[in-house]
Structure 1
Amino acid sequence: MKILLVGEYSRLHNSLKEGLEFLGHAVTIIGDGDLFKNYPVDISIKPKILHFNWFTRKCKVAFYKLTSIDLALYESAFRFYWHQKKLKNYDVVQFINSNALKTPLFLQKKQLDYLKKNNKKLFLCACGTDTPIIEYLLKNKMKYHILTPVLLGEHSKETFKFEFSYTSCKYKKYYAYFENLLDGIIPSDIDYFLALQNNLKTIQLIPNPINTERLLKKSVNLSAKIQIFLGINSMTELKKGCHYFEKALKVIAEKYKGKVKITVTRNLPYRQYIQHYNNAHILLDMVYAYDQGYNALEAMAKGKVVFTGAEQEFLDYYKLKENEVCINALPSVVYLVEKLSWLIENPSEIERIGKNASAFVEKEHHYVHIAQKYLKVYETAFR
């Protein structure tokens, strides 16, 4: 098959590409690399001119303040049209999000029409914030989720402007147009499956693909200080509940002076982020989740003990026990301190959970195995 993957937010599409190519398929990724994260893409639509230096960035911001028009979106649209001859004759086009192209919506509709007309099947990999996800979360059927801070009144809707932009009348109209073009929706974890399970276009949950062969596993040295890592992305820290981790780490730093090394970083490109966490025994990923995202799974594959989503729905789906492959991170500083203390005082548990985590990712998320699942879905659509 010839496959076009549109957008990249977490290296999911890169790992899927590697799995599909291993199986003999031709795969191309188009996207902006998620800006500062700089994920690899084959065809870049990243706005380079407007991000060239401080002056062009200042001009872009000033123009936006005067007109509410983001010129970077138009530059990305121009780059799409520059490359559009390369975007034809694919068997499958898969989007990472309804706004994967990050261009003005009126132009993005035309770009969708072009992709639909010149290719065979269109799919959405549901793995992040999108219209039906936000609408489901606002019904508040889950114990907690990325919008919990808003629903509890801890933060205003303005603080979560990005998430709520997906529920504007303009965007909902665009999303309906986008979804109508799709041949199927594929949720990547329990959080998204719960939101989409009643959608008629939802096919099945296919877990995140992880290329375990490219991840170097370091042996865990527990004789020295226990190393704890928290990597914060300012754009997502509130919806991930990072403030719970930060408060817990202050307690741990005071409680275990000389026994732990705590590293906290902000807004690092993917490669630097990975370098910083490689030496960690424990990684703090996310509070407001039922299942693991891509970064958590990569860390688990390396044998880290990850604090992340691991609710009962996740345990039931994979037939696991509590604390078997990761630690379920709850929105409670007291709870997080308790779990961190347990690991620090029982380092053999770090080794046990780390080994289980690595084996779990190898079994349930191996990139070739997951690529085979995607291919089965693609092939079924042609019958």
Structure 2
Amino acid sequence: MKILLVGEYSRLHNSLKEGLQALGHEVTLVSTGDEFKDFPSDILLKRKYETGIPKNIKVGLYNLFGMDLNSQYQKKQFFQLQQKFKGFDIVQLINESPFGILPKYEKEIISFLKQNNKKLFLLSCGTDYTSVKYAFEKKFRYSIFDPLFEGKVTEKDFFPALKYLKPEYKDLHDFTFEKVNGVIASDLDYDIPLQGQEKYLGLIPNPVNTEKLKFQKFSSEGKIIIFHGINRANYFKKGNDYFEAALAKIQRKYPSKVEVITVENVPYSEYIEKYNSAHILLDQVFAYDQGYNALEAMAKGKVVFTGAEIEFLERYNLEEDEVCINAVSNVESLVSKLKWLIEKPENIQKIGKNAYEFIERKHNYIAIAKKYLEVWSK
């Protein structure tokens, strides 16, 4: 088949592309690279007006007239290359807003893709209207909005997520759902809110290319290295404040046993290199299942603090702390789990091995590509 993957978050579409290509399919990926993460794309739509005076002009025009120069620029690039986006058997959008531009321009692009290709599908693997509405209405036991509900941040700080509740994004959601053949979730954080939706086709776990992420056997020599990657824009949303508070206590208690590596806002390739030496990775707090960064680290045999709630354990028939650590919004709980690993390094070795085997068993990129092909073909 001829397949077009539109947009990229966290390398999901790149790994799916590699799995589909291994099965003999022709795949094209178009995206913006997801800002500073700089993920590879076959067709890269460049962003402009991001720094300095051009950014100030862009912000001023948007505030005065609702005009977004970057949105216009990306739409222009897309339609200049429109012949490259025709004639596909399958087109899959990474999100209702796959390019992160104004809804009216996203709708033009989605309409074009619908009209000029055979089937159109939508992924739910990041913030969108359905998941944001479900969380904001407190239907989860906890969610990414807890820092907002607790007064740690303002609604302005949470604009990148809350914008999906605005009328124009609700309209984009309705428009996209009407156009697509079906919707697929990448993990339980998106699967749960979609239950009962007419076009929902179910959960397909994230594909992970384990051939590119080699398992690293645990060595007990030297210090135990803990890696904490921060995306400053998502600092509270990911629970980084809980991680930093826990790390401060751990560093005071185990100064000779532990080394902490913290990085902020680095490209994907640099991020991967930075955490290669780590034994433990702190990913996120407000999640029920693992996101993509966590899965890739697990594939390398790291012990990851991430989402691993009871829903996840039951779905995959796992025990608590078997393949990763469920990170909760409680500093003392995080400290306790870290102490358990530091004082008993054999737990790091055991969980890391289990994590790698779990990824091979449930997230192998070729096996997952086959599941996509099966769902798309129905």
What corresponds to 2:285 in structure 1?
Answer: 287
What corresponds to 1:275 in structure 2?
Answer: 273
Q: Deviations over 1:311-355 (max 9, x none)?
A: 000000000000000000000000000000110000000000000
What corresponds to 1:260 in structure 2?
Answer: 258
Measured after TM superposition, the shift of residue 149 of structure 1 is 1.5
Measured after TM superposition, the shift of residue 68 of structure 1 is 4.5
Distance in 1 of aligned mates of 2:300 and 2:22: 22
Q: Deviations over 1:128-186 (max 9, x none)?
A: 10001111112212221111122233322222111110001121112101110011110
User: Is the counterpart of residue 359 in structure 1 residue 324 in structure 2?
Assistant: no
3-state SS of paired residue (1:174): helix
Measured after TM superposition, the shift of residue 85 of structure 1 is 0.8
Aligned amino acid, residue 159 of structure 1: D
TM-score (norm 1): 0.96
Measured after TM superposition, the shift of residue 64 of structure 1 is 4.1
Moved more, 151-160 or 315-324: 151-160
Aligned amino acid, residue 29 of structure 1: L
Kindly indicate whether the alpha-carbon contact (under 8 Å) linking 1:210 and 1:366 is maintained by their aligned counterparts in 2: yes
Aligned amino acid, residue 24 of structure 2: G
For residue 192 of structure 2, the aligned residue among 185, 191, 194 is: 194
Measured after TM superposition, the shift of residue 116 of structure 1 is 0.6
Distance in 2 of aligned mates of 1:87 and 1:271: 28
Distance in 1 of aligned mates of 2:335 and 2:233: 25
Q: Equivalent pairs: percent with the same residue?
A: 49
User: Is the counterpart of residue 135 in structure 1 residue 123 in structure 2?
Assistant: no
Distance in 2 of aligned mates of 1:262 and 1:103: 37
Kindly indicate whether the alpha-carbon contact (under 8 Å) linking 2:215 and 2:356 is maintained by their aligned counterparts in 1: no
3-state SS of paired residue (1:239): coil
For residue 87 of structure 1, the aligned residue among 66, 85, 88 is: 85
Distance in 1 of aligned mates of 2:190 and 2:102: 25
The alignment's C-alpha RMSD in Å is 1.4
Q: Deviations over 1:292-325 (max 9, x none)?
A: 0000000000000000000000000000000000
TM-score (norm 2): 0.97
Measured after TM superposition, the shift of residue 55 of structure 1 is 4.8
Q: Deviations over 1:256-306 (max 9, x none)?
A: 011100011110110111111000000000000000000000000000000
Measured after TM superposition, the shift of residue 58 of structure 1 is 4.6
What corresponds to 2:300 in structure 1?
Answer: 302
Moved more, 212-221 or 236-245: 212-221
Kindly indicate whether the alpha-carbon contact (under 8 Å) linking 2:125 and 2:186 is maintained by their aligned counterparts in 1: yes
What corresponds to 1:169 in structure 2?
Answer: 167
Distance in 1 of aligned mates of 2:25 and 2:67: 40
Aligned amino acid, residue 83 of structure 2: K
What corresponds to 1:29 in structure 2?
Answer: 29
3-state SS of paired residue (2:229): strand
Output aligned runs, 1:35-114, within 5 Å: 35-48=35-48, 50-51=49-50, 54-64=52-62, 66-114=64-112
Aligned amino acid, residue 206 of structure 2: N
User: Is the counterpart of residue 216 in structure 1 residue 210 in structure 2?
Assistant: no
Moved more, 107-116 or 275-284: 107-116
Q: How many residues align?
A: 378
3-state SS of paired residue (1:74): helix
User: Is the counterpart of residue 316 in structure 1 residue 314 in structure 2?
Assistant: yes
Kindly indicate whether the alpha-carbon contact (under 8 Å) linking 1:127 and 1:192 is maintained by their aligned counterparts in 2: yes
Aligned amino acid, residue 311 of structure 1: E
Kindly indicate whether the alpha-carbon contact (under 8 Å) linking 1:97 and 1:128 is maintained by their aligned counterparts in 2: yes
Distance in 2 of aligned mates of 1:241 and 1:374: 32
Gaps of 5+ in 1: none
What corresponds to 2:341 in structure 1?
Answer: 343
Moved more, 135-144 or 249-258: 135-144
Kindly indicate whether the alpha-carbon contact (under 8 Å) linking 2:86 and 2:116 is maintained by their aligned counterparts in 1: yes
Kindly indicate whether the alpha-carbon contact (under 8 Å) linking 1:76 and 1:102 is maintained by their aligned counterparts in 2: no
Q: Deviations over 1:7-55 (max 9, x none)?
A: 001100000000000001111111100011110111111225x35x745
For residue 368 of structure 2, the aligned residue among 354, 367, 370 is: 370
